[in-house]
Amino acid sequence: MNKTTAENIAHILTEALPYIQRYAGKTVVIKYGGNAMTDETLKQGFARDIVLLKQVGINPIVVHGGGPQIGNLLTQIGKESHFVDGMRVTDRETMDIVQMVLGGLVNKDIVSMINEAGGRAIGLTGKDGNLIRASKLVLTRRAKDNQPSEIIDLGHVGKVDSIDPAILDMLENKDFIPVIAPVGVGPHGTSYNINADNVAGKMAAVLKAEKLLLLTNTRGVLDKEGALISGLNKALIETLKKEGTIQGGMIPKIDCALEAVESGSASACIIDGRVKHAVLLELLTDRGMGTLIR
C-alpha cells in the first residue's frame, strides 16, 4: 500500500466516525427494493452494509418489496397480473402467491445473505406477533361530468392501521436484525398485501427512527432538467407536485417519507439502490446521496 492509498483509506474511516457516533443506538429503517434486490453484486453489498451498521451499534430494520418476483411466479403459473394506479389487484389466489414469495422466497433470501455476511437476521411478515394490523384499502376514482365516484375493488390490497413494535424491540435488544415482508393481518386473520414504502414509512414513524432510507431505481427526486434535488421540505414538495415535477410513482414515496418525518422520524432520504454500498454512502459520509426530506 502506498502513502496516498493509505491516507485515502484513513480519511474515509475518520470521516465515518462522527456519523457512527451520531447514529449509535438509534434505529434506521431501510426499504429495500428495485435493482438492489435483483443484481447479485448489489445484493451482497447491501447485506454487508447492514451487518456493518449493526456491528458499530446502529439498529437497522429492513422492509423489503418483491413485485417483480411475484409477477414472475404468477406468469409461471399462467396467471395474468393486473394493476390499478400502480397497485396489484390481489384476489385470493394472488394473495397466496404474494405470501409465498414475500414471506418465503424473498424474505429468506435476504435473511440468508445478511447471515452469510456475519449478521444475525430474523425474517418476519406483518402477521408475526400481529406486527402489522391492516385493513382493506379502498380506492376511489373521481368520475367526470359530475358523475358518482367509482369505487375500485383491489381485493386483498391493504393499508397499515397500526404497528406493534414489541417484537422489534425484543429482537433489537438481542442484537438481531429484523427483515420484514409487507404482509399485514386484518380482522378474522385476513391477509393483506401492502406497499413496502408505506410499511417502511409507518415503521419509521412509530419507532421514531433516526432515519428512513428508501432505495429506488433513480438518483432521488429530479427537477425538470433531470438534476438531483438534494433537499426537500413540505412546502417545496407541494410546489413541485403542483407544477408536475414530482409525479407518478415518486408521489407515494415522497408522501410516506414526509409522513414519517412529520410523525417523529428525524429525516428520510430517497437514494439510488443501483449504487453499490448506497446505504453506507448516505449514512456515514459527508456528502451522502439522494434527496433528503426533513
Q: Of 169, 193, 217, at which residue does a domain stop?
A: 193
pLDDT of 90 above 70: yes
- Angle, CA 127 vertex, CA 126 and CA 132 arms, to 5°: 45
Asked if 274 and 281 count as a contact pair (C-beta separation under 8 A), the reply is no
CB burial readout 252-266, b (16+ within 10 A) else e: bbbbbbbbbbeeebb
- Clarify whether residues 186 and 234 are in a common domain: no
Asked if 186 and 160 count as a contact pair (C-beta separation under 8 A), the reply is no
If pLDDT is split at 50, 70 and 90, which confidence band does 143 have?
A: low
Would you say residue 46 lies in a domain? no
- Clarify whether residues 182 and 214 are in a common domain: no
- Clarify whether residues 75 and 187 are in a common domain: yes
Q: Where are the alpha helices (DSSP H) in the chain?
A: 3-23, 40-55, 67-76, 92-98, 107-116, 166-173, 196-207, 234-242, 250-262, 278-284
What is the per-residue pLDDT for 122? 97
- Clarify whether residues 144 and 265 are in a common domain: no
Q: How far apart are CA 112 and CA 99, in angstroms?
A: 18
pLDDT of 149 above 80: no
Closest to 262 (Cα-Cα) out of 200, 205, 199: 205
Would you say residue 292 lies in a domain? yes
Q: How far apart are CA 293 and CA 277, in angstroms?
A: 20
Asked if 279 and 15 count as a contact pair (C-beta separation under 8 A), the reply is no
Residues 6+ apart with CB under 8 A from 11: none
- Clarify whether residues 162 and 218 are in a common domain: no
Cell numbers for 270: 430517497
Q: What is the mean pLDDT of the chain?
A: 91
Would you say residue 231 lies in a domain? yes
Closest to 275 (Cα-Cα) out of 46, 66, 110: 46
Largest CA distance in the chain: 74
What is the per-residue pLDDT for 146? 63
What is the per-residue pLDDT for 226? 87
CATH number for the domain harbouring residue 66: 3.40.1160.10
Q: What range does the domain containing 145 cover?
A: 57-193
The total of structural domains in the chain comes to 2
Would you say residue 31 lies in a domain? no
What is the per-residue pLDDT for 148? 64
Q: Which of 17-26, 177-186, 195-204, 220-229 has the lowest mean pLDDT?
A: 220-229
Closest to 108 (Cα-Cα) out of 129, 122, 90, 95: 122
Q: Which residue has the cell 391477509?
A: 191
Q: Of 133, 160, 193, at which residue does a domain stop?
A: 193
- pTM of the complete model: 0.92
Would you say residue 159 lies in a domain? yes
Give me the torsion for CA of 215, 196, 53, 49, rounded to 10°: -50
Would you say residue 27 lies in a domain? no
Q: What is the mean pLDDT of residues 41-50?
A: 94
What is the per-residue pLDDT for 105? 93
- Clarify whether residues 68 and 188 are in a common domain: yes
What is the per-residue pLDDT for 182? 96
Query: What does the pLDDT look like over 53-80, one tens digit per residue?
Result: 999 999 999 999 998 899 999 999 999 8
- Clarify whether residues 141 and 225 are in a common domain: no
What is the per-residue pLDDT for 278? 93
